[in-house]
Structure 1
Amino acid sequence: MQAQAGANEVAVAHALRARIATLRTQLPAGVKLVRIYDLSGLISGSLRDVWIALGLGSVIALLVVLLFLGRVDGALAVMTVVPLSLAAAFLALHALGYGLNIMTLGGLAAAIGALVDHAIVVIERGLHDLSGAREQRRAQALTRIGEILPIMSMATLTSCLVFVPLIFLAGTLGLLFRSMAVAIVIALLVSQLMALLVTPVLALWLAGRVRAPVASRRQQRAQRRYGRWLVAGMRRAWLAIPVVLVLGALGWVTLRALPTAFLPRWDEGVISMPFRTQVGSSVAETTAVGRELLHVALRNPAVARASLVVGRGFSNAYATPN
């Protein structure tokens, strides 16, 4: 049983299992229905893993935002924008005819950092070093946000242009990367739209209730140490040349040593082996050859079950009898 193109394979598998359970009660004695393989578990597990990675990335981003902004309300404001951006990205994907799969969710997970970064930049820029009464602080925040947004928009468009060529790839590469590239581009554009329309409103609200930041001793020590290192590095700028050359050489050697492959290795628990007999062979002749191959496969102790399909390929519903 195969799901039709565009169907939800997990939903089809659940419905099929329920139907098979009903059919088993109506089968005559000695007849059994045996499930050879079911890839819906692989799909569900992979999607679950991506959702977990997406959630963990959001939580880690929240902790980082809280650490650097030093304000709970600022961190919550940043993380309020992320679900809104993801929801808008889901709507855009649906409008373009894309669904939630490993590639689109992987693209959204990869773009989580950019979603958080857009919100951090706007809020931190708006709340940095404010002074005066409430309306004065809001006016200062609005001016500073207006200065940073055009630069952010250009940076976002540049990042999107990097992924545009992947959208127009053809063949297998296009099948693999198009959905991910579309998801990343949509997430970046939606995040920038939120940075233009929603995040400034949150920043102005926070500016109205701003508190004077109190740096801890650890932060003060880190700032002083970083300042000393920065000044020392600027006074000895020539040291950057050998460092860059060494890093470039190490990168080149590592690149040459890395193993290459079209796809990474994974274990689905299923091996499909297409075979073809001579042109003009009947279904019975092809079945006989297939049964011999089944016997060879079942002699392998690592093989639990084997099945045979004759007269139809996995990718061609109208295959010839051979």
Structure 2
Amino acid sequence: MFDKLIKIALQKRLVVLVTAILLLIFGTYITLDLPVDVFPDLTAPTVTVLTEAHGMASEEVEMLVTFPIETAVNGATDVRRVRSSSAAGISIVWVEFDWGTDIYTARQIVNEKLQTASTALPEDVDKPVLAPISSIMGEIMLISLSIDESKNTENLTEMDLRTIADFDIRRRLLSINGVSQIIPLGGAVKQYQVLVSPEKLTSYNLTLNEVLHAAEELNENSSGGAYMDSGSEYLIRGIGRVQNLEDITNSVVAIKDGVPILLKDVAQVKIGPATKIGDGSANAKPAVILTVQKQPQTNTIELTEKIETALSDIQASLPPGIVINSNIFKQSDFIQTAISNVIDALRDGAILVTIVIFLFLWNIRTTFISVLAIPISIIITIFVFQLFDIMINTMTLGGIAIAIGALVDDAIIDVENVFRRLKLNRQLPKDERENSITVIYEASREIRAPMVNATLIIVVVFLPLFFLSGVEGRLLRPMGYAYITSIFASLLVALTVTPVLSYYLLSKSKSMNEEKESWIVRKLKHQYEKTLHFTLKHPKTIAVSSIAALVITIFIIPFLGRSFLPEFNEGSLTLSIVTLPGTSLD
């Protein structure tokens, strides 16, 4: 099969050459369009259940809210682990499913189980809700909103800042495809506050529950059906929704002796900030911090660009004095730095490979043919990524970087043998010389078996990566895909493109008349000859030294440090301060 492939490539050499050129052109275009991230997507199918329990202590939340929900979802189809966190007033339950489970199927399963769990929860506990689907990569961006007092002509406050963040900026950013959640922190949350006077309640002979009941029902519309008159239909509506503070103050609490008692008669109604349970600041000044989370399988860099474009449009419509800063933290900066470092390593590796090949072959044409296998093999790998929807990340680029030296092995073996056979053919008398295509075909066929076997042996080394499960498999498998794909691509190039280029560049080259090898090869052969003689004279010494080195290495391995991943420096410093419960933020 491989011999036939070589023969077809030489017969259709112009087609092969044009195909290789088109591959380079279109492959470069596709490479620039592929999604980029720092790691493969490691997000396990996880459903997060949030339940608010206002006024409950963490122990009560755990016993009355978290435990019933955990009991309901435990044992559900494909659930592999359930975790929870209970704090004052809130319960969070994470339901993790087996890898490969469709996230929407998982959410449906959890939602069905919550129908059962809801009946076991206390009456004053809010209904459990499912959090948005978010990537495990955490926050991709932090955005700050602050007030520049020198331009604050409208006397905006922290409460105005938080209101703009909640109702303008957050909603606008959530409409961007790929954003899963925007979590605001800091500022002052706007509240309509009803401050009841106990003395006035006593004087009107009212209770606090009556005021609470009136406040709960004052912001509602009601329907009175329809009224038919002379063939016309009129809808009857009771308009009760409040539009301003005055509507609240004029709400009726009760009627005593035919006289309505209004809310303003027993309480002071005002707009004020809610009690803070957290705060935010930027550059030591009060600010609202927006935390942006993305959906799984979303290109972080592209999503960051969309968010920054939207923020530019929002900034133009904001009141003077409000400053948006999107440069506090951006995961895309770290991704671009990481990818850039790997690309630099690829570039440097390719340059070193080129230099080494040239020093050994000492021929520009053979070096060019051999090195060309690198970009073509990488481009073919990129096409495979595009076909199977694989992202460009540090692991896939790392696999290509590891393979960078091996990518030229097959091409070097082929071109070196072709070069040697063409040189021998040139040295024959003219009437005994064979056709260049025949020489190239026979030379390529000669080394086809060892070339294919060597490629298969290299591939076998990486096969264990595909048997890893869990996070390890999700992380390392793309590196194996990239390495094996690029190695097979280099084999394909060596069987097709390399013979064709050898025909066009080497068959009529003047270098065929030179009989000497490069000076560095002659020097190395001379030194190797000395080393070989010494080795053959002292076989026992060499064998004992090798075994001793192996034993020492095995002994050292248990003392080496171990880590699943190296530490990553994202250019930010996080300080965590723990204080006694109840400590004031001020």
Bigger mean CA deviation after superposition, 82-91 or 214-223 = 214-223
1:64 maps onto 2:356 in alignment = yes
Residue 121 of structure 1, aligned match among 405, 413, 427: 413
Residue 111 of structure 1, aligned match among 403, 406, 409: 403
CA RMSD of the aligned region, Å?
Answer: 2.7
Supply the distance in 2 between the matched residues of 1:159 and 1:221 (Cα, whole angstroms).
30
Deviation string for 1:85-107 (max 9, x for gaps)? 11111101111111211111111
Supply the distance in 2 between the matched residues of 1:144 and 1:132 (Cα, whole angstroms).
11
Q: TM-score, normalised by structure 1?
A: 0.78
Match of 1:170 in 2: 469
Bigger mean CA deviation after superposition, 8-17 or 227-236 = 227-236
Supply the distance in 2 between the matched residues of 1:221 and 1:55 (Cα, whole angstroms).
29
Q: 1:225 to 1:262 in 2, by over 3 A?
A: closer
Residue 446 of structure 2, aligned match among 140, 147, 172: 147
Match of 2:497 in 1: 198
Alignment of structure 1 residues 86-101 onto 2, 5 Å = 86-101=378-393
Match of 2:247 in 1: none
Match of 2:296 in 1: 5
1:237 maps onto 2:539 in alignment = yes
Give how far 1:229 is off. Answer: 2.1
Residue 132 of structure 1, aligned match among 413, 425, 437: 425
Bigger mean CA deviation after superposition, 265-274 or 158-167 = 265-274
Give how far 1:215 is off. Answer: 4.0
Give how far 1:118 is off. Answer: 1.6
For the pair shown, which has the larger CA radius of gyration, 1 or 2?
A: 2
Give how far 1:217 is off. Answer: 5.7
Supply the distance in 1 between the matched residues of 2:519 and 2:307 (Cα, whole angstroms).
63
Identity of counterpart residues, as a percentage? 27
Give how far 1:74 is off. Answer: 0.8
Match of 1:49 in 2: 341
Q: 1:171 to 1:58 in 2, by over 3 A?
A: same
Supply the distance in 1 between the matched residues of 2:513 and 2:315 (Cα, whole angstroms).
69
Supply the distance in 2 between the matched residues of 1:37 and 1:87 (Cα, whole angstroms).
33
Q: 1:164 to 1:220 in 2, by over 3 A?
A: closer
Q: Structure 2 stretches of 5 or more lacking a match?
A: 1-291, 427-432
Residue 527 of structure 2, aligned match among 188, 201, 225: 225
2:542 maps to amino acid = A
Supply the distance in 1 between the matched residues of 2:557 and 2:340 (Cα, whole angstroms).
32
1:262 maps onto 2:564 in alignment = yes
Alignment of structure 1 residues 201-212 onto 2, 5 Å = 201-205=500-504, 206-209=506-509, 210-212=512-514
Contact 1:107/1:184 (8 A) holds in 2: yes
Higher strand share: 2
Contact 2:395/2:478 (8 A) holds in 1: yes
Contact 1:119/1:199 (8 A) holds in 2: yes
Q: TM-score, normalised by structure 2?
A: 0.44
1:247 maps to amino acid = A
Aligned length: 280
Q: 1:216 to 1:69 in 2, by over 3 A?
A: closer
Higher helix share: 1
Give how far 1:119 is off. Answer: 1.1
1:19 maps onto 2:310 in alignment = yes
Helix, strand or coil at the partner of 1:37 = strand
